[in-house]
């Protein structure tokens, strides 16, 4: 599990970058993915400091 979670974070962030770079106008999907990515990153940072996000 330790290796799977960071991999999912990286893949979601790569997907966001791809969505931004592609001319396809799927802004809703991009925002959802971006929010998920940021939430996971913030959770990871918070866990390092001994805090937990829902």
Write down the domain spans for the chain: 3-51
Instruction: Give the list of residues 6+ apart from residue 45 with CB closer than 8 angstroms, or none.
Output: none
- Cα–Cα distance, 4 to 22 (Å, whole number): 27
DSSP class of 48: H
**pLDDT score of 13:** 74
pTM of the predicted model, to two decimals? 0.35
**pLDDT score of 26:** 57
For the chain, residues with pLDDT lower than 50 are 53-54
């Amino acid at each position: 599990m330790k290796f799977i979670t960071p991999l999912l974070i990286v893949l979601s962030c790569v997907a966001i970058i791809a969505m931004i770079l592609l001319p396809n106008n799927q802004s809703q999907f991009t925002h959802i993915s971006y929010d998920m990515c940021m939430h996971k990153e913030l959770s990871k940072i918070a866990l390092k400091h001994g805090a937990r996000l829902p």
